[in-house]
Chains A and B, each alone.
Chain A
């Protein structure tokens, strides 16, 4: 999961960071949200690579009511020694595709539709498919995400939904 560094004020964070796209800032060994609402340490990936990966995750499965920290949590596992080389290469290819369309990098592409065009151009690559496939569980199987979709999960611990609204629909 992400580490929210409570001791780091927004001003301190921003003073030590560089912007990465509109949503993220990066510094030595970390990625954070521009708002400083959360920060994540990275050990094996370049912080900018992780920021790009988080943006890529959101562009694959965009939910406007789901904050970046859940996407960050979904891809945090790629920050490992065994994955680093593949991920750096995959993100480099993504950036190369963005440069080919005249952007400085993927994360500098302002409109989602333009980023999606870039992703479409590489959607059959092993890297894209691995990231997309991993997100199916990495994002949607986070219990903290479920309430954002209204999903309540198990009810056994409360005796089932029998007395907790299993038939409470009022509009049919």
Chain B
């Protein structure tokens, strides 16, 4: 059914990347009858291919191309070549994500107005009215089958959740539940329900968790309007003398370079690769890279304020049994500056297997302080902290001309320094997370440092004024009308919530806009 398009067909929309942004956009456009070629750097893996073994799966799915790091974040020391833990595969990081699907709070769309002038932060309001997103969020929740929305039941609570819930309630938290998850709590249109198998990060072998890899991509292909080319790594975006983009140069599965012409190009390669591609596409007309008249391409990199809290009890928990992210405390997500920081954070249960716990609990640590923690693995419960971090101009993706990737192109360097607001929020969250577990008898708690980033945001941000950002409210670049950004790099600010639902909602909205503009003859 998949439609093959000619390399010289300049009527197609080319989408670079097939994750939550690109994969959804590809399907949505295909459903509307638009011809789409989606280029995906990774291979195609389906539930039968996923491996429920942490390191083996990491080798199968993780994006491991050359990258470098700098800045004061601990990831730069512990995982200097792995700033982000994201996926190189058809479906992108929707293979790996845990499934948490939360709407932004209204005030988070207006961070500059709500939080005021935070020193050192490059805050800006999104050029979107929160009410305009309501319908798109509903469409996204229905697409993803999000629990606790649209009449869908919540998932049952696993052991890790039960410990977390008991501690949360003992502490007086009210907004505590098993989450709004893009994981089927019951069979749905022939899709499996969750079997509490764990290994959500390694790809759901039941297909019970939404992933573009086996939902939106095949649905789009079935229309006959979408061709997905896997192992097609885009190297450069080309433009004409008028400044419009005209096609993309990519390396195919055999390493041969191909040029695919395009009517419209949508970049959805994640917040590291998308700005890198714009920067690597510099030309005499655009010496600072494409769509970069503002100088904001690659800047304002956000990764969410993260961290984890693990705790050991005197009795078994067996946290690895069941969904990886099994519940949430939302009471701290509010904006309440009396806590000593602006914005808020969510607490979400998280479980790692023994191999990843050894790698991530306290990277680089050794000796009995560390090993006695792992000795308590069976009695361990865990949670992840995810909160709004401050956009900073100096946190950015740049080209590292000293390190080249397998195609000879400069590798991306990811620079990140914590903002004082991020640190204050993390310390508050560590304290609250520890209190949750201590309330149910934890004998030892671990304020665990951030992992390589899974939420990569903001490096081609939306702005009302072209001076302040890279794209307008539809993800269309301010500088080049037929060039769009379709992933989390559009985010003006990060909010406290896991970003996938918002990326999906924005992709549905962008598809409406592109199709309408094509219909009007404007694109």
Q: Mark B362-379, 1 if CB is under 8 A from A, else 0.
A: 001011101100110110
Q: Mark B326-370, 1 if CB is under 8 A from A, else 0.
A: 000000000000000000000000000111011100001011101
Contact B52 A156 (CB under 8 A): yes
B371 partner residues in chain A, CB cutoff 8 A: 61-63
Q: Which of B157, B322, B355 meets A161, CB within 8 Å?
A: B322
- Knowing A137-B55, A172-B163 touch, does A151 contact B354 (C-beta < 8 A)? yes
The answer to whether A92 has its CB under 8 Å from any CB of chain B is no
Once the chains are docked, how many angstroms separate the CA of A4 from the CA of B317? 35
B458 to chain A, nearest CB (A): 31
B89 to chain A, nearest CB (A): 19
B78 to chain A, nearest CB (A): 11
Nearest B-chain residue to A149, judged by Cβ: B377
The answer to whether B401 has its CB under 8 Å from any CB of chain A is no
Which segment of B191-199, B278-286, B459-467, B482-490 sits at the interface? B191-199
Q: Restricting to A57-71, which residues have a CB under 8 Å from any CB of B?
A: 60-63, 65
Q: Mark A135-172, 1 if CB is under 8 A from B, else 0.
A: 01101110001100111111110011110111111011
The answer to whether B205 has its CB under 8 Å from any CB of chain A is yes
- Knowing A149-B375, A169-B163, A169-B317 touch, does A156 contact B197 (C-beta < 8 A)? yes
Contact A167 B375 (CB under 8 A): no
A162 partner residues in chain B, CB cutoff 8 A: 194-197
Interface of A (DSSP majority class): loop
The answer to whether A132 has its CB under 8 Å from any CB of chain B is yes
B62 to chain A, nearest CB (A): 14
Contact A140 B355 (CB under 8 A): yes
- Knowing A151-B378, A172-B440 touch, does A166 contact B158 (C-beta < 8 A)? yes
Nearest A-chain residue to B359, judged by Cβ: A136
The answer to whether B143 has its CB under 8 Å from any CB of chain A is no
A154 partner residues in chain B, CB cutoff 8 A: 52-53, 197-199
The answer to whether A116 has its CB under 8 Å from any CB of chain B is yes
The answer to whether B315 has its CB under 8 Å from any CB of chain A is yes
Of residues B55, B194, B367, which shows the largest number of chain A Cβ atoms within 10 Å of its Cβ?
Answer: B367
Once the chains are docked, how many angstroms separate the CA of A61 from the CA of B357? 14
Once the chains are docked, how many angstroms separate the CA of A151 from the CA of B322? 13
A172 partner residues in chain B, CB cutoff 8 A: 162-163, 165-166, 440
B157 partner residues in chain A, CB cutoff 8 A: 167
Nearest B-chain residue to A151, judged by Cβ: B354
Nearest B-chain residue to A146, judged by Cβ: B354
Contact B367 A116 (CB under 8 A): yes
Q: Which of A150, A161, A169 meets B377, CB within 8 Å?
A: A150
Q: Mark A49-61, 1 if CB is under 8 A from B, else 0.
A: 0000000000011
Nearest B-chain residue to A152, judged by Cβ: B320
Contact A165 B55 (CB under 8 A): no
The answer to whether B122 has its CB under 8 Å from any CB of chain A is no
B315 partner residues in chain A, CB cutoff 8 A: 171
Contact B316 A141 (CB under 8 A): no
The answer to whether B156 has its CB under 8 Å from any CB of chain A is yes
A136 partner residues in chain B, CB cutoff 8 A: 358-359
Q: Which of B55, B165, B196, B364 meets A160, CB within 8 Å?
A: B196
B163 partner residues in chain A, CB cutoff 8 A: 169, 172
Contact B195 A151 (CB under 8 A): no
- Knowing A137-B355, A159-B195, A167-B322 touch, does A149 contact B374 (C-beta < 8 A)? yes
A134 to chain B, nearest CB (A): 12
Once the chains are docked, how many angstroms separate the CA of A123 from the CA of B365? 11
A165 partner residues in chain B, CB cutoff 8 A: 159, 318, 321
Q: Which of B162, B359, B370 meets A167, CB within 8 Å?
A: B162
B200 to chain A, nearest CB (A): 11
Nearest A-chain residue to B47, judged by Cβ: A156
- Knowing A62-B367, A63-B371 touch, does A166 contact B355 (C-beta < 8 A)? no
- Beyond A172-B165, A172-B166, 18 additional pairs, beta carbon < 8 A: A62-B368, A63-B374, A137-B55, A139-B358, A141-B54, A149-B354, A150-B316, A153-B52, A153-B320, A154-B52, A160-B194, A162-B194, A166-B196, A167-B156, A168-B159, A169-B159, A169-B162, A169-B316
Sort A-B residue pairs by CB-CB distance and give the 6 closest, nearest first. Answer: A160-B195, A150-B378, A154-B52, A160-B197, A140-B358, A166-B196
What are 11 inter-chain pairs, A to B, with CB distance below 8 A?
A61-B371, A62-B371, A141-B355, A151-B353, A164-B321, A166-B156, A166-B159, A166-B196, A166-B322, A169-B317, A172-B440
